[in-house]
Structure 1
């Protein structure tokens, strides 16, 4: 089995500056800048490939004092990731947020967004929204979701996050990120998940990692 690689369209950094090309999208850019996920969208540490590779090569799930943890070794030092540490390091005030909205609420709120493909399917399609909503959804999914392919589609969890942001409700993004990282360990298709976020977590716990010279670009 080949070693997992970075998926370059996954966990990208949002560019939230206004340019000539942003005409018609300025209000959405302003909204995202003021949102609770602004830091998570834009945090852009130098990613040291070997740090991310070491983490995923050694990561395992442990339960300590009834709290699930991802434990791994980077440079022979322990790195621990929990839901609460993700919340702290990404400045997410979402402890009281919902995990996923009820399906009836999702369909109702997407209809308010003028989603043009009503159905009872649990997968939703970016193409059936207005250009402004497409931009909003694309930014959220590419920066925050666990996906690495098929960017026209998004799940119930991402629909819940998008709706909660748009309606000023709290969504527990920290739990979402932690849960998909745990699930990723057992997944059949491996890639080096959440490199921007994971480098932030490693830097917070181990300090300066600039002795690593292999940088992901």
Structure 2
């Protein structure tokens, strides 16, 4: 699934969120839409093995079309263009709700399920 970050008529309540995401380091990961064939996914999962390296990092090795592919946290960050020096590695729920409240989101729930009706009209 891919996100389309456009400000269309009738979605004015989401314009601040669209602006936020467009300026965010996760924009590429949400909007890039590569063609991925089911046969390649099947090959990956049929041959994938995981191991923990001496430095504690987990590495997944799989063979796709006869070529060995290695997946690490660093490679995922690089390919999704999340690999910059001071990037966010995790965002606490409290921080998410604090930022949402600045955009007019009001709720008493602490669940990460968002309802359009909880945003202020402005």
Whether TM-score is above 0.5 comes out as yes
Q: For 1:77, which of 43, 58, 67 is the aligned residue? A: 67
> Residue 97 in 1 paired to residue 115 in 2?
no
Which has the bigger relative contact order, CA under 8 A and spacing at least 6?
A: 1
Measure how far apart 1:21 and its partner are: 3.2
Higher share of residues assigned helix:
1
Q: State whether residues 63 and 69 of structure 1, in contact with CA within 8 Å, keep that contact through their aligned partners in structure 2.
A: yes
Matches of 2:117 and 2:108, distance apart in 1: 7
Question: Cα deviations across residues 183-217 of structure 1 (Å, max 9, x unaligned)?
Answer: xxxxxxxxxxxxxxxxxxxxxxxxxxxxxxxxxxx
Once the two structures are TM-superposed, the CA of residue 64 in structure 1 deviates from its matched residue by: 3.8
Bigger radius of gyration: 2
Partner of 1:126: 114
2:50, 2:61 within 8 Å by CA — same for their partners in 1?
yes
**Over the residues paired in the alignment, what is the CA RMSD in angstroms?**
3.0
1:38 aligns with 2:27: yes
Unmatched 5+ residue regions in structure 2? none
The number of aligned residues is 115
Contact 2:52 / 2:59 at 8 angstroms: preserved in 1? yes
Corresponding residue for residue 48 of structure 2: 59
Question: Which runs of 5 or more residues in structure 1 are unaligned?
Answer: 1-11, 133-217
Which residue of the other structure, out of 108, 118, 121, is the alignment partner of 1:116?
A: 108
After TM superposition, the score normalised by the length of structure 2 is 0.73
Give 1:117 shift: 2.6
Is contact 1:60–1:70 with CA below 8 Å preserved after alignment?
Answer: yes
Instruction: Specify whether residues 44 and 99 from structure 1 end up closer, same or farther in structure 2 by C-alpha distance, changes over 3 A only.
Output: same
Q: Does the CA contact (< 8 Å) of 1:117 and 1:128 recur in 2?
A: no
Distance 1:78 1:130 in 2: 48
